[in-house]
Structure formats: C-alpha cells, structure tokens
Amino acid sequence: MSDHIDLTEAAIVGQSPDEGPADTVAEPTALDRKINAHFPGAVVRKDLVKAVKGNAIVPSYVLEYLLGQFAATDDEATIQEGIEKVRRILAEHYVHRNQSELVKSKIREKGRFRIIDRVSVTLNEKADVYEASFANLGISGVLVEPSTVNANQKLLVGGVWCLCDIEYFHSEDARATPWILGRLQPIQMSSFDYDGYLAARAEFTTDEWIDLLIQSIGFNPEMFGRRAKLLQLIRLIPFAERNYNLVELGPKGTGKSHIYSEFSPHGMLISGGEITVPKLFVNNANGKIGLVGYWDVVAFDEFAGKKKRADKALVDIMKNYMANKSFSRGVETLGAEASMVFVGNTSRTVPYMLKHSDLFDELPESYHDPAYLDRLHCYIPGWEIDTIRGEMFSSGYGFVVDYIAEVLKSMRNLDYSDRYQQHFSLGPDISTRDRDGIHKTFSGLMKLLYPHEEATAEEIEEILLFAIEGRKRVKDQILRMDDTMAAVKFGYRSLDGEWTAVTTLEENQYPAHYHRNRPGAAAKSNDLDLPTPPSMGAGGSEVTAVPAPVEKELREGHRDFVENQRGVSYETLLMPYLRGAAEIELHDPYIRLSHQGRNLVELLASIASAKDPADEVTVKLFTVLDPDAEIQKRQLQMLNQIMQGAAHQGIKLEVGKDPGGHDRWIRTDNGWRINLGRGLDIFQKQDGGWFDFGSTRQEFRQVRAFGVTYIRDQQ
C-alpha cells in the first residue's frame, strides 16, 4: 500500500489501547464558559449537589440555589471554597424536624439565631397582619413586615425556603408569640428576568441550547444522540404547558420519574396506587380542592400493572378533566390547569406487545380504554431511552433547577402552537383531538428550544415531526383496540405542496406486527433488495425496515436509519455485498478509539466467518492517525493487535493513511462500492459489560442516525 503505516514498533512500547490518563478535574468546556458568561448566578456545576447534601432532607433545587450563589463559576478554587461555605451553612443553620426543640432552645438562649426552613405566610384579616409559619421548626403566627411579603410574594403561595434570623422575646401576654422574624433571605428564586432569559437564549446555537438543557436536568449531552436528547426534553413539556397529558412506558431504570420528583417545586409525584378522587380532585365532604388545584404537574409513578385495580369513578372523572380541564364539586364545576403525567414500567418487548396486544398492554384494565387513552397528547417511547449509568451524569454547568422551573412556569401563559403554520400545514383528515395533541407538544418544544421564536423552517419541521409522532403512537394503538375508528394519515404538507408522511420508529422496525389487524394492511417487506416505499421517521429522514440478509440479486440504492433503531448489524447491512470478495478496501478516518477498533474487529470477524477457511481475504484499511501523540500511540498499538488477530483467521489487514480524510466508503473487487455516512461507527455507546446483550450481538444495540448507499462499481 502507498503511504503504509508501520505498526510493528507501536506494539512494543506504551500503554494498552484501553488504558487512559489518570482521572483529573475536567476543564470547563467552551459551552460551560459561555453558560457562565450569559447566566451568572443562575447556573451551577451539576456534580456538586451530592458533595454538599449530607443528611439534609432538603430539595435539590434549594441546594442548587445555594451552589449558584457561592459556586457559580468555572474557577476550581472558587468552586471548592463555595462548596465548603454551603456545607457550613447547611450544618449550622438547616433545621431538621427531629431537632426542632434544640433549635428553639438555641434561639431562646442566644436571643437570635439564623435558620434554614420553608416559610409560608398568610394574612390574618382580623388583626390585619401577615403571619409566617416555619415547616421544620414547627412554629407559626410569627409577624412579617408587609415590605418583606411584597418583595417575596411566593411566600403567600406555597411557601419559600429561606435563610431567616429568628429572635425570641417572652411576653406576659399569652396571645403574643415570643418568636420575632428579623432578616429573611429567600434561598430559592423569588423573581427572575424573563426578557433577559430570552436575550441570553439568542446568544446560543440550537445545539448549544439543547446541550445546556440536557445538562440542566443532570445528564452529559455527549452520551445522547439528537433524538435521545429531544425525548428527554419532552418530559419537561408538562411544566411549560397547561393541561398537557403525557404517558411514558418503558423498562426500569431509565429515569422516567426523576424529573417529576426533583426537577421543580411545582410538580408532585405520587404512586399510581395511592390516588383517590378526594385527593386528586375534590373532597365533597368538606369542599377541599385536591392536587390538581395546587400543582402545575401531577405525575403518577408506577402507573403500569395489569393487576392493579382502579376506582371507576376516578377514571371517569379523570377522563372528563383530561378532555375538558374541569371537574365537579357537587353542582359546581371547577377548572384547573395541572398537567397529568403517567409513567410506568413495561415487562415485555415492543415486538411482543405489538404482536399480542398493543403498546398500552401493561396498563391496568380500567385505563386500557380507548376513550381514556384518546385524551393523551403524547406517548414517549420509554424503550428507546437507555438505562441510566454513572457516566451519563453531567459534570458540566446547567441552570439552577429552581430558575428553569420558574421560567417554564411563566411560559404556561404563552401559546406557541401555531408557529409552524407559516411553513407547514397538518393533514386534512387529522381530527380535532389529534390536532390538539400535536399542537400542545409542538408548543411545548417551541417554548423549550426556541422561546425567542427564532427558528428556521428545518428546526420547526424537526419538532413538528416529534409532535406528530408522539400523538400518532397514541392513536395507532387506539385503532388496534377499536377497529370501528377510521385510520388517520399522519403527516404534514409544506407550503409548496410537498406531502410528508410521518411514521413511528417501531412501525418501521416491526411493520408486520405494527399493522396487525388493521383493515387492508399488508406486511411490508424487510428485504433490502425489494422496493419499499420510504416513510418519514421521527428524526425527519427517510427510513425503512431493517434489511434482512439478501440471497437474491443485490440492488443499488440508498437507505437511511434513524437514531435509536435496533436490529441493525454488519451482517445484514454489509455482508451481502462483501461475500465472495477477495480484496476489500475500507476508507474510514476514525479508527482511533477502542470502540472504533471493536467495530473494525466485528466487521473483520464477519468477513472471516463468511469465507472458506482455506481462503484468504485482503482488507486494506485507509484511516487517519490522531494528531495527539499519546492517543496516536495507543491507536497504533490497537491496529497492530487487530492485524495480528485477523491474520490468524485468514484476513490480511493492511493499514495506510487515508488521503481523503473525511469520506467513508468500501470498495470490493466483486464490483460494489458502499458509501457509509458514519463509517463503521453506527452504534451508540454501550455500557460495555459482559452482561450487556448488546456487547454480544450488534442487532441488540441502538444505532445513531446514518445512511448507506450501494453502488455498482464501474471500475
């Protein structure tokens, strides 16, 4: 090979390919520095909360607020000083309920003492004074100055965590409280500048902003693809949209309920089995309004479970509320704006549910009802979301939780549902209820991603696709339950008249099962060489079902695969075109890291297993050496090991420098050229343990979005 790379010396010295540098404190990224510059005091490094929490039973948003005050910087020395300060504040001033009497004694003996507690204020109309109550300290009736209340009005609606100076002065008047409120400083956000938020948003690109939001909910954006990031962000829509009904069903351990328990002081997470009509809506005995009257989001955890019983009266009231935003208290009809979220675990695979029932298969019987399900605006495919692993958590900067929670709450008054209409129109047979679901999801994503309303047509199209897909997943399952309902063509039309059909990812992966029992539906072919009408996937590109091994004449063509798709392997994607070749030329500039080397090994192993053991196949790899000396040394070692292992299997691997540098393609001596959009690096990162099924078979892994084109080589 020309420009041959000598691998022999690299194998003798240095580290093994899997070794890396010792752990160090990560330097702030360019994005982290930009976040700190535009949102000073409103962001915090997300890995610091565990370092300061200790045994204080205080919400994460309070801890993040304190860290935002003392450690909102990218200077490591200042961060460490801030952490110690927050620890001291919690240790000295946080009131534990079981130590309330001790704290009261300190206040009495010292005359004045500073505490951290949740403070709520009510107006005593008879005495015409404001009175404060302290949740953990257990005292009430403490006088508050009107100026303090006017400056912190959230004290009147649910209460605020505060740093307070409490004084003690005993009086002979039995009606007077001995507790006196001195200084009060909120330690969760009591106000924010929304215009400033919009102005700062305009300074970020869309990719940067999405990564900022992902870091704000605690995840490392580098561990997620674009589709996976947007699925995470859909979980936030109930906080920004009134009366938004969302369901997410999927495997355990994917973080379905975390958002609703820790992310916002305006959300309530309850167990699905613990809810009653009086608790959720209204207690007719005393007229007291339930949770929907006081919270922005009511989330039902552990909602799935076929054997769970549900009160029919509750289901009926819930159906009416989800459709009409109202419920009855005796003869009086009341309205509320709480969004409802239903999260639960699935015990079956997606193809199993599609074959034997539907994607709502796990719900209790009372909720497995088309009339109830039709009230849902969006279905998040929880099976696409990876199990949470340690390396997925962020050490970068994100919004202080209470700050972004207040931003989203303020957005509930806005409506962005028509912002797509300057570019697109929905299909004419989409019903009003389907339209409402699409509009609410679209509006929520617009608020999250483009609150300043500066989005291109392509960006608007991307979130419109997600909104349609989320509602289509609901409607398609209802059609499986009730065949009297008319099928709907989900899609949209551009202003120039071009129609785009929208499908779900599972529809493209399992067409035979997805369209089961649908009138006139025929199973779609999985074979790559047969003409299959393309359809739009959730990511906006043309996708087809996963190709099966081809035994008939191979055909030219292009195929796109969407992010999170499973069932893809080199065996089905490449081997039909590589079988019988004695010489294969592979151009991939990125065979540098260990997982990229593993991809190469898996391709070579497929080639070796397909050939006659007595034959030899030459594989000429053209790649690029990493400019970093240490990484390059490990890269050369890795390639040398692969070369030696391949030789034992009758594969002669030759490695040369790729003159192109970016193009990724394969050429064979049996007449084919395969253009690879991502090269061999099509799979998402796996946990890597031996007990991970994806480490054994490629078809069990999720892929990134990529395309592949097959061309008959005329050479």
pLDDT band at 261 (very low <50, low <70, confident <90, very high): confident
Reported pTM: 0.78
Task: Find the largest Cα–Cα distance for the chain.
Answer: 105
With a cut of 70, say whether residue 524 has pLDDT above it: no
User: Measured in Å, how far apart are the chain's first and last C-alpha atoms?
Assistant: 19
Asked if pLDDT for residue 699 goes beyond 70, the answer is yes
Matching CATH number, 9-13+546-712, of 3.40.50.2300, 3.40.50.1260, 3.50.50.60, 3.30.870.30: 3.30.870.30
Which tens digits make up the pLDDT trace of 225-255?
999 999 999 999 999 999 999 999 999 888 8
Handedness of CA 398, 399, 402, 407 (dihedral sign): negative
* Domain 194-414 of CATH type 3.40.50: yes
Which letter does DSSP use for residue 223 in this model? G
Per-position DSSP letters for 557-571, written without gaps between them: EEEEE-TT--S--HH
Q: Domain 97-186 maps to which CATH number in 1.10.10, 1.10.60, 2.40.160, 2.40.50?
A: 2.40.50
Tokens of 141: 């009736």
Other C-beta atoms closer than 10 Å to the C-beta of 314 total 17
3-state class (DSSP) for residue 160: strand
**CA dihedral in degrees (669, 675, 681, 682; nearest 10)?**
-120
Report the pLDDT value the prediction gives residue 157, as an integer from 0 to 100: 63
What confidence score (pLDDT) does residue 221 get? 94
pLDDT band at 32 (very low <50, low <70, confident <90, very high): very high
Mean pLDDT of 674-681: 93
Same fold, 9-13+546-712 and 194-414: no
Check if the beta carbon of residue 119 is closer than 8 Å to that of residue 184. yes
Which tokens hold the place of 712? Answer: 């008959």
Euclidean distance between CA atoms 276 and 282, whole angstroms: 9
Predicted confidence (pLDDT) per residue in 594-605, tens digit? 989 999 999 999
- Residues 437, 439, 440, 442: is their CA dihedral positive or negative? positive
What's the rounded Cα separation, in Å, for the pair 367 and 237?
Answer: 23
Q: Quick one: tokens of 237? A: 């829509």
Q: For 277-290, write each residue's pLDDT tens digit.
A: 888 888 777 777 88
Helix 194-201 with 401-411: angle, nearest 10 deg = 100
Per-domain residue ranges of the chain: 9-13+546-712, 43-93, 97-186, 194-414, 425-521
Strand order in the sheet with 583-587: 557-561, 706-712, 672-676, 665-668, 583-587, 617-623, 651-657
